[in-house]
Chain A
């Protein structure tokens, strides 16, 4: 295999992958491609440039990935790749990539590391961990571990949770959409799936589906003939494409929803037979909404959307055969976010748009068997603490801001001494970066597994270079409910440099840690001591499941084959290895037009399934904890900024996925740095012109960013994209370009799911 140690990107500067060949041997390649598979091969893979996991085929020429093309077999991604998907090649061949295991030799954050062998890295981690766990008397939970969105998260949890025994796992949910997931499952008993394609009347509140693509939703919106209504304090491309655009004040979507419910109930527009059959406590909801008088005029006073318009949209929504109020898929904005998502679910339910075409469907996903794990029981591992004071919260991924506060304020019941961080850029991904820095500085050990020298990697004691998604196979995944399919990420090329897959990294680490960690447990764990007395050390170790690398005895390929063949048969396995996808109609799928396919026949889609469920209007647990058990507006939700202040809202460009794509040389062409949107009149008043550098100051910090005055944003509101203002000088393409929103967003969180509220910060602005 050809590994480019020197700067491949410098080599490629001014050109892209294929041109390497175009100048040398392209002529040969173009003629051999058709006849020979020796130099050129096509490998199916699943993209990882964002959370969508679209399917593609990689063209590989002499071990180089030269082009990524869409995969026509995947119902979810509809035979397309977005700009980020197309530029994934640049993520693989980014010269800034983490190439070797590194151990810190400087101060945290100053970027000085020495190159070490994998064994040296494992040895270093082992020595530190043994000391920490010994000091903490085998409380495994003193090691927190986190992982952003992605396929390998569950595997990672199996290692550090099930095997190593820590209860403190954190993921992106509490800085993302846990309120939406929670509100949906608490109200209708399932998170469901939104059938955008089947809806003929779609309301989107804030979600920017044409600049933040979600498959298949965004694609389906382009192709369906539905009426589209968009509410946003910013006139996005989604808004400009809408049939009706309703500009509103930030954080007031709940008032609009409450008013829709009011009109639906008052004018009896709701689906009465559905409500009768499925609703629980509808009377309570009715009484509450009517007595609170959430009239359209009231909502106008909160949102700035004309009452007449609210009435009209409500009437159209409830008279449509397949209306959908889109529940969003993005961060939590406001402290009322849980109530907002609940209200959205209730609107859909009042229209009978549950378990029905064009609504929130339950569908019938493929359920993959779980591989069994022999979990050791650690008597001294303590419970997680980040959900204390949180009403529901995610037991899986917890609450980042609550966790961080408790660690740095030392109010946690036991100290957190070490962190393992994977695919999670903590130093950029949550509000108030200085607090994250403080938290990491308190650790005795920080280990980062990543592909890039991110701001977080620069805080690590040990950096373990992971390979990119195109260099590994991952465990098979089940996708979607309406048109369910299985998808497999096949390995396109072997890992470059000395990088490894997560499984290989954990296998090595597990091997190194198992015995010494077992000895620590044997010292403190009375149950284990009994077991050793009874079985002997060797047997107690094996039967107790203390071999941490046990999961990885077989490689991913072997595990996949075993799992898929045993559950679905050889044909499905072969389809996944070649096409990357399997669904029951894969051999019969029909091209509707211009490479756009129908996957499931219309009568085979799982629009409606047999299921017993209730729509819960009233959540008693909330009342018990002093929160509103029915969606309610509180005065504190009103949009308020003082005369010289602006409400800061955030989002992203279509070419960025948070900070994960920040260093991509191809995507940088579209947005080299971010600009702050400010209403033209406000800008004029402050003497700010296009491109001026401005200081944006919140209660916690300030940033400098270039201005973009525009009429497309509400007065007293400013917006700029997340994913810029990278502080790591090792990220040479993106370092110090633009500004980071989380530098100035105040770290507030709502108490129902413990989610960071991203749109509750007021800022001042002045020209530099």
Chain B
């Protein structure tokens, strides 16, 4: 029993794609650029003419399921296919999913995609059925990251590194106005 969350030291990201490949290899995600459990969004762009570029330091935002405490996808599913597991991770009873895609439209973060192989909607589940089920304590994206910017762990354990980091540093969550109470945190 844990309450898993992730914190991103997001400014360190160089958009190298290591996390995306590691996720796909670990979790057997469909090939194809549009099929992904996680992706990187480029925030700042460079404006102006080349010799006088107005340059904000590039910022890349790590995007994936925000593991909402109050998950709109869970509520939206007409078949009761979406549930929270014992570690607070939003999961799917695959056999109950009929691809109505109501969860996809309900998600404010666009975190779900259609897994064409299993014909279900899929999203990041913190490697719950791969790494975590084998007793590993890191996610694929976290361990491979050159910047080591992804902190993953139990939010209920005050001694966990993620709890410590969230205590020491300021952070924000995405789309707070959606009132979803995400368990993903972006460190300022």
Contact = CB atoms under 8 A, between A and B. Distances in A.
A669 to B, nearest CB: 5
A546 B114 CA distance: 63
B49 A711 contact: yes
B32 A14 contact: yes
Interface in B82-132: 116-117, 129-130
A622 interface: no
B46 A711 contact: yes
A18 B28 contact: yes
Contact of A654 (B17, B25, B135): B17
Interface in B1-38: 12, 14-18, 20-22, 24-33
A20 B145 CA distance: 25
Q: Which of B28, B51, B145 has the most CB of A within 10 A?
A: B28
A213 B146 CA distance: 10
Given A14-B30, A16-B24, A34 B135 contact: yes
A30 B133 contact: yes
Interface residues of A, number: 60
Interface string A636-670: 00000000000000000011000000000111011
Interface stretch (A141-149, A233-241, A431-439): A233-241
B99 to A, nearest CB: 16
A304 interface: yes
Given A14-B117, A68-B25, A247-B50, A83 B18 contact: yes
Contacts of B47: 711
Contacts of A670: 17, 33
Given A69-B143, A210-B14, A669-B32, A247 B51 contact: yes
B124 to A, nearest CB: 16
B146 A218 contact: yes
Nearest to B49: A711
Contact of B22 (A13, A81, A222, A595): A81
Contact of A22 (B28, B31, B32): B28
A254 interface: no
B31 A14 contact: yes
Contact of B146 (A80, A239, A304, A594): A80
Contact of A83 (B17, B32, B130, B135): B17
A17 interface: yes
B31 A67 contact: no
Interface size class for chain B? Answer: 35 or more
Given A33-B134, A219-B146, A594-B148, A245 B31 contact: no
A711 B49 CA distance: 6
Interface in A6-56: 13-20, 22-23, 30, 33-34
Contact of A18 (B14, B116, B130, B138): B130
Given A69-B143, A83-B17, A595 B148 contact: yes
A16 B161 contact: no
Given A218-B146, A304-B51, A669-B31, A594 B151 contact: yes
A304 B52 CA distance: 11
A360 B29 CA distance: 44
Contacts of A86: 18, 21-22, 25, 144
Contacts of B46: 235, 240, 711-712
Contacts of B148: 79-80, 593-596
Contacts of B144: 69-70, 80-82, 85-86
B31 A13 contact: yes
Which of A22, A218, A237, A240 has the most chain B CB atoms inside 10 A of its CB? A240
B167 interface: no
A222 B28 CA distance: 29
A458 to B, nearest CB: 26
Given A665-B31, A711-B48, A235 B55 contact: yes
A89 B16 contact: no
Contact of A241 (B48, B51, B58, B146): B58
B14 A666 contact: no
Contact of B117 (A15, A70, A666): A15
A23 B30 CA distance: 13
B142 interface: yes
Interface of A: 13-20, 22-23, 30, 33-34, 67-70, 78-83, 85-87, 89, 210-211, 213, 218-219, 222-223, 235, 237, 239-241, 245, 247, 304, 593-596, 654-655, 665-667, 669-670, 679, 681, 711-715
Instruction: Please name the 9 residue pairs, one residue from A and one from B, whose CB atoms are nearest each other, closest first.
Output: A19-B28, A240-B58, A86-B21, A83-B17, A80-B146, A210-B14, A83-B21, A18-B28, A596-B148
Given A69-B140, A594-B142, A596-B148, 9 more contacts: A18-B26, A30-B133, A80-B18, A85-B18, A235-B53, A594-B161, A670-B33, A711-B48, A712-B46
Interface of B: 12, 14-18, 20-22, 24-33, 44, 46-51, 53, 55, 57-58, 116-117, 129-130, 133-135, 138, 140, 142-148, 150-151, 161
29 contacts: A13-B31, A14-B32, A15-B30, A15-B31, A16-B31, A18-B25, A23-B117, A33-B134, A70-B143, A70-B144, A80-B148, A81-B22, A82-B146, A83-B16, A89-B25, A210-B16, A223-B12, A239-B55, A240-B44, A247-B50, A594-B148, A595-B142, A595-B148, A669-B32, A669-B33, A679-B50, A711-B49, A711-B53, A714-B50
